Amino acid sequence: MDIFQKCGEFDRPAKVKALGLYPYFVPLSGHVGAEMEMQGRKVIMLGSNNYLGLTDHPYVMEKACEAIRKYGTGCTGSRFLNGTLDIHLELEEKLASFLGKEACVTFSTGFQANLGVIGTLGDRGTVLFIDRKNHASIIDGTRMGYAKVVKYRHNDLDNLRHMLETHREHPGMIITDGVFSMEGDLADIPGLCDLGAEFGVRVMIDDAHGVGAMGAHGRGTAEHLGCEDRVDILVGTFSKSFACIGGFGAGPETVIDYIRHVARTNIFSASLPPSAVATVLAVLEILREEPGLVQKSHDAAERCRTGLRDLGFNVGNSEAPIVPIIVGEDLVCFRFWKELFENGVFTNAVVSPAVDQGQAMLRTSYMASHTPGMIDRALGIFKTVGRGLGLI
């Protein structure tokens, strides 16, 4: 059998394209904002993780341009050797201070942050306890090392307790998303920290959709739940609220220094480009000065969540600026996506394996720049399309 044979047999996208319902790789035109142009039509953007609405903020863009003029477009090497700029160090210091952690190390993507942190700490003889609905980057991070991996049922602390009791003899770490990226529900971080303390294991939170989008100051889900000082390791990304790309790990100085010198995704990957570093620094400034942006994204999400629920849609248990609309079957989801898009609302169609089989959904997400008028117009379109498809 040729190793390429499976590629030719992979016909799932082609079948959906033949039906005219393919919802992926749709090109965007211009800046990503609350309203924008896609394929010649103006749409309300409900499919972006730009929670603070800062990807086209004039100050943020100017700071990115200034960095390019000063440093060029890239570093052409890893942080370990020739790719560390003074602004990399500035960012790590300021981000650690913002998060209330001793130290911080940055990575070129959020995905690499999880691979590096988990793969480095999860070595032979350790046990990693992970929520079954964790992001793919956490799953892949556990595969980078030689740790034993134990999965517990989603947000089920009783099931996790049983797992911890079974593996008392090994050092370990509980790893979970802070905000689960598809459904928008939250991990029970206080409960996880209680179990961590009881069983002597560490707690790591991947807060990709929490930092900059949760908490009174935007420090994340643990701040929102009042337990940020109890989290041992905080991992996050710059590709959502921080308006560019990259990732980080923050925690005790000795641990971060170890990761900095051992993580393969830090040593063997080119460092963040100057424009991205400057973008994150600019967003940090704005977030410190305008923490109310976080609440604005929640206000928009709650307005749409309430409206969708009142219309009869299943919106799950979301508590973040992410609101799912669970429809069940894949083709129904794709038809719903297409009708919404053609009527001026862009969402994300999510099917297995990103969600459980039979739980296909439209994932919607909200920005600080969404106005009540935009949300109300979107709700009107959801109502018309949903009734036309017999969904409500």
Q: For 144, which DSSP code?
A: S
Helix residue ranges, H only, 167-232: 189-199, 221-224
Rounded to the nearest 5°, which phi and psi values hold at 332?
-65, -40
List 213's β-bridge partners, or say none: none
Which contiguous run of DSSP H or E holds residue 280? Answer: helix 274-289
Does 97 participate in catalysis according to the annotation?
no
**How far apart (Å, rounded) are the C-alpha atoms in residues 104 and 223?**
18
Q: Is residue 187 within 8 Å of residue 176, measured between CB atoms?
A: yes
Cis peptide, bond prior to residue 353, ω within 30 of zero: yes
**How far apart (Å, rounded) are the C-alpha atoms in residues 260 and 116?**
9
Residues 6+ apart with CB under 8 A from 378: 44, 46, 304, 345
Q: Is residue 87 within 8 Å of residue 277, measured between CB atoms?
A: yes
Reference 204, options 219, 226, 218, 222; nearest CA is: 222
Residues 6+ apart with CB under 8 A from 98: 219, 284, 287, 288
What the block records as the tokens of 165 is: 């009791």
Which contiguous run of DSSP H or E holds residue 110? Answer: helix 110-121
Q: Which of 133, 135, 209, 298 is catalytic?
A: 209
Q: Which of 181, 269, 271, 365 is catalytic?
A: 181
**How far apart (Å, rounded) are the C-alpha atoms in residues 342 and 354?**
24
**How far apart (Å, rounded) are the C-alpha atoms in residues 52 and 54?**
5
Q: Which of 135, 240, 296, 370 is catalytic?
A: 240
Q: Is 70 helix (H, G, I), strand (E, B) or coil?
A: helix
Q: What angle do CA 330, 336, 340 make, to 5 degrees?
A: 145
Does 240 participate in catalysis according to the annotation?
yes
Does 167 participate in catalysis according to the annotation?
no
**How far apart (Å, rounded) are the C-alpha atoms in residues 221 and 209?**
9
- In this structure, the dihedral spanned by the alpha carbons of residues 18, 19, 25 and 30, taken in order and rounded to 10 degrees, is 120
What the block records as the tokens of 170 is: 């090994």
Q: Would you name the residues annotated as active-site residues?
A: 181, 209, 240
